[in-house]
Amino acid sequence: MRVVLASASPARARLLSDAGVAHDVIVSNVDEDAVVVARGWTTAFDVAGGLATAKAQDVAASIGTGHLVIGCDSVFDIDGEIHGKPATTAQARARWERMRGADGVLYTGHHIIDTTNGREVARVASSTVFFANPTDDEIDAYIATGEPLRVAGGVTIDGLGAPFITRIDGDHSNVMGLSIPTLRVMLLELGIPWPVLWSTDQSHP
């Protein structure tokens, strides 16, 4: 059984590899904005979970049996407002004006499909992220790196944004885009113990 990650996120791929799970990457063709509008999702929980399902189902439909497809999506909630990746540097700057010295909740949707028997399981994990109070110059320098434009919430805990995060309540890997503990529980629901996925070939991607 081959694991397939239905995501283009390097952080998610790295999390799986670091956990000893060999996998392939197949990016879905889901138009995220169109799906959210069509379904009428209005909460970060629903958006993260719904898009994870859409991505997994899209990829699963394109491949044969013998695969475990993992779809994920992360959305940041700040004071009840949904925030994905900032579209512009101005948007990233405005986001950081709200986030510094405050906190928000990062929701990551997970959806697994066993293409051999058609069984599916879905869960949404959440982690509360507490931010430092960086100076204007620090924020400008961080945004200039381009990193905030590539991730939900406009900050990464495993990259240049790490110094601006003071605490996390919840799973650390969830903030990086894929909760490994949540994934293990989901696999157990499908009757698949986590050690089955361990690979001795740590070079696969």
| 112 neighbors 154 (Cβ within 8 angstroms) | no
Which of 190, 177, 141, 178 has its CA nearest to residue 161? 141
| 75 neighbors 60 (Cβ within 8 angstroms) | no
Active site residue 73: yes
Catalogue the E-assigned strands of the chain: 2-6, 23-25, 67-78, 81-83, 103-114, 120-131, 165-169
Q: What is the C-alpha to C-alpha distance for residues 137 and 134, in angstroms, rounded to an integer?
A: 8
Catalytic residue among 46, 73, 77, 114: 73
Active-site amino acid positions = 73
